[in-house]
Homo-oligomer: A and B are copies of this chain.
Amino acid sequence: MLTYDLSKRGKTPAYEYIYSCIKNDILNGRIKANEKLPSKRSFALNLGVSLITVVNAYEILMVEGYVVGIEKKGYFVNDIGIVSEKKEEEKEIIEPSEPEEKYLADFSSGHILYDNFPYTIWTRLMRKTLMDREGLFLKSPLHQGVYSLRKNIAEHLSEFRGLKVSPENIVVGAGTEYLYSLIVQLIGRSGMIAVEDPGHVKVSRVYEANGIKVVHIPVDDQGLSLEGLKNSGAKAVHISPSHQFPTGSVMSAKRRHGIIKWASEKGGYIIEDDYDSEFGFLLRPMPTVKELAKDRVIYMNTFSRTLSPSIRIAYMVLPDELMEKYHSKLGFYSSTVSGMEQMALAAFIEEGFYGRHLNRMKNYYRKLHIEITDIIKETLPDKLCRIEGEACGLHFVIRLNTDITDEEFTERLYEKGIKIKPVNDYAHYKREGFKHCFVISYSEINPKIMKKAAEIIFECLLGKEKS
C-alpha cells in the first residue's frame, strides 16, 4: 500500500500533504493510470491519520480530475497521461461519478430534490418547441437571449420579486459562472472586485480565472462589512444580500443603503446574487438591492438551482450604462444557451408552470425547514447550540458552545456517518467569531434522520463518544 512520511509535512495540513504526495506520484508515473488507490479506511489506518483526512485528500484529487471514484468499486487513477489506443479499447465504458458515500446525513450538500422536477410538462414543452417552431428554434439565438425568454423573466421578476426591469436589460447565459466572466469583460480587469468572506469559494475562483484581482471582505450578521468595502479600493462588489452563504445572514437595510451609497460615490458596481431568494420563509422577503439602485446594480439569478442543475440557464439584469457597453463591446458573441431550451423555458414560465413549481418547492421546504429546526431545538439544549441565519434559504448555521476544535468535531461526526462543514472552511481568512459554527444544508435531509443526527451531535458535544 502507498505510504507517505507525514512527519515531513511541516505546517501543511495532513490532507493537503497526502493529496500532493499522491498527485506528484501520478504525475511522476509512480502510480499508473487506472491503478486502484487504497480504500479510505485502510489507507487512514496505514498512515495513522483520521478517516476524514483521507476523505478530504481524495476529494481534492477527484475535483482536480486526477482520481475517479467508481461506485461500489473504489477510487482509481484517472488516465490523464499519454494516449494509447489499446488502453482506450480495453477501458470499461462507464459514466465516471463519485461513488456515493453512505452517510447517515450529509449537511454539506445543497442539492435540491430531483423528484420535484416537472418531467412531464418539460418533455411536452420541449416537444412542442421542436414541433411548432421548426424554423425559429433552428436559428442562432441572439447572444443576449431569446426575446420571449427575457420577456418572461422580466414578468416573473415583477410578479415574484417585485422587481421591475425591461427585457432589454436582461442577458441570458450558460450559468452564473459564465455571466461572471462577461461582467469581468464589461467592467475591465484593472482594479479589484470585492467578495464576501466567508462565501462561495467558486465566486472568487471564477473572477480570478478571468483575470481580475479579488479582495475578501468580512461578513457579519448584517452582511458584508461596509468599512471593509470602503477600505478595499475595489471597484465592484459581489454580494448575496437575500441569504448569504454560508453565514445565512440577510443583509440589513442600513447595510444595503450604505453599499449603494458607496457605489454611487465611487461609480462602483454591485453584483447582487439573488440565489436562494426563492426560499424565503420566515420574514417578509427583503426587496432586492437592484430595486433601490437600478443604475448601480447587476442583478443575477439562475434556473439551474430551482429547476435542475442539468439546465444551464442563468441571467443577469444590467444597468443601462453597462447594457450599452455590452452591446458595443460584447454584442458580437454568440449565445451560450441552446435556443430550444430557451424557448421551452420561456413557455414554462409563460404558462405558469414555473411559478407553480416554485410555490410547491417553497411550501415543501418551508415545512421541512420548520421540522428540521424544531428537532434541533428539541434535541440540543439552547446553551449548547444556537441556530443562526435561518430567515431564508436551504441552509442555516448552528453555533455550538464547545471547546472541541472544528477539525476534531468534524472528524468525530464523520466517524458517526455525518458530513458537516465548519463555516471557516468557506473563509479566506478564518475568523475567531466563526469558530464552532457549522453549516446545515438540509434540503436532502428528512426529519427522522435529522433526529438521529441531532442526537449524535449532542453526544459528540458532550464528549461521551470520543473515538
Decide if B151 touches A333 in the complex (CB within 8 Å).
Answer: no
Instruction: Name the contact of A329 in the complex, choosing from B117, B166, B167, B209 (C-beta under 8 A).
Output: B209
Given A178-B174, A185-B210; A308-B138 close (CB under 8 Å): yes
Decide if B320 touches A137 in the complex (CB within 8 Å).
Answer: no
A148 to B334 CA separation, bound complex (whole angstroms):
26
A78: interface (CB < 8 Å): yes
A339's nearest neighbour on chain B, judged by CB, is B310
- List, in ascending order, chain B residues with CB within 8 A of A336's CB: 174-175, 177-178, 312, 336
A466: interface (CB < 8 Å): no
A332's nearest neighbour on chain B, judged by CB, is B205
A65-119 contacts to B (CB < 8 Å) = 65-66, 78-83, 85, 87-88, 93-97, 114, 117, 119
Interface bits A120-138 vs B (CB < 8 Å: 1, else 0): 0011001100110011111
Decide if B130 touches A122 in the complex (CB within 8 Å).
Answer: yes
Which of A8-16, A36-44, A139-147, A274-282 contacts its partner? A139-147
A222: interface (CB < 8 Å): no
A402: interface (CB < 8 Å): no
A331: interface (CB < 8 Å): yes
Decide if A138 touches B96 in the complex (CB within 8 Å).
Answer: no
Expressed in whole angstroms, the minimum distance between the Cβ of A245 and any Cβ of chain B is 16
Q: How many residues of A contact B (CB 8 A)?
A: 90
Expressed in whole angstroms, the minimum distance between the Cβ of A140 and any Cβ of chain B is 4
A206's nearest neighbour on chain B, judged by CB, is B333
A330: interface (CB < 8 Å): yes
- List, in ascending order, chain B residues with CB within 8 A of A127's CB: 123, 126-127
Instruction: Name the contact of A175 in the complex, choosing from B97, B329, B334 (C-beta under 8 A).
Output: B334
A323: interface (CB < 8 Å): yes
Instruction: Name the contact of A337 in the complex, choosing from B27, B312, B329 (C-beta under 8 A).
Output: B312
A357: interface (CB < 8 Å): no
Decide if B209 touches A330 in the complex (CB within 8 Å).
Answer: yes
A379: interface (CB < 8 Å): no
A202 to B331 CA separation, bound complex (whole angstroms):
11
Decide if B80 touches A332 in the complex (CB within 8 Å).
Answer: no
Decide if B166 touches A138 in the complex (CB within 8 Å).
Answer: no
Decide if A310 touches B139 in the complex (CB within 8 Å).
Answer: yes
A338: interface (CB < 8 Å): yes
A181: interface (CB < 8 Å): yes
- List, in ascending order, chain B residues with CB within 8 A of A117's CB: 134, 138
A197: interface (CB < 8 Å): no
A137 to B85 CA separation, bound complex (whole angstroms):
29
Expressed in whole angstroms, the minimum distance between the Cβ of A109 and any Cβ of chain B is 11
A113's nearest neighbour on chain B, judged by CB, is B138
A341: interface (CB < 8 Å): yes
A327: interface (CB < 8 Å): yes
